[in-house]
Amino acid sequence: MPESNTPQPLCNSADLVEGGLAVPFDVVYAGQTCRAFAIRFEGQPQAYLNRCTHVAMELDWQPNQVFDDRGQWLLCASHGAAYHPETGECAGGPCRGGLVKIEVSEHAAVVSWHPAYNLAPLKF
């Protein structure tokens, strides 16, 4: 397997708190450097591009704050679009589809993200 397709360590499992702050990371998506984030929802790590589908803006209303105040929905601070934390599907507001989901795994207290055909790690 090429090195660029291997899981990329993202953070310690303990860094993802249920309904808490997101852990940001950068990826190359469709040839562009983009911000992404990982969260924990219902015990499972999830990750998405940090890009609202209404207008390509980051969701955060404060640094790394993407959940609503109850930790139940991912919200775009600019336009109020709401997304389901488990699937990234639009749950309300001015969405145009769902968030771009990034595959993640959790093993030995480490969360990793998985590159895909259109998603790669940054090259240094």
Taking residues 35-57, report their average pLDDT: 93
Rounded Cα gap, residues 73 and 84, in angstroms: 6
Domains and CATH numbers, the chain: 3-120 (2.102.10.10)
This prediction has a pTM of 0.93
pLDDT digits (tens, 9 = 90+) for 72-91: 999 998 878 899 999 999 99
Check pLDDT > 50 for residue 1: no
The pLDDT assigned to 78 comes to 82
Rounded Cα gap, residues 118 and 15, in angstroms: 26
Per cent of the chain over pLDDT 90 is 73
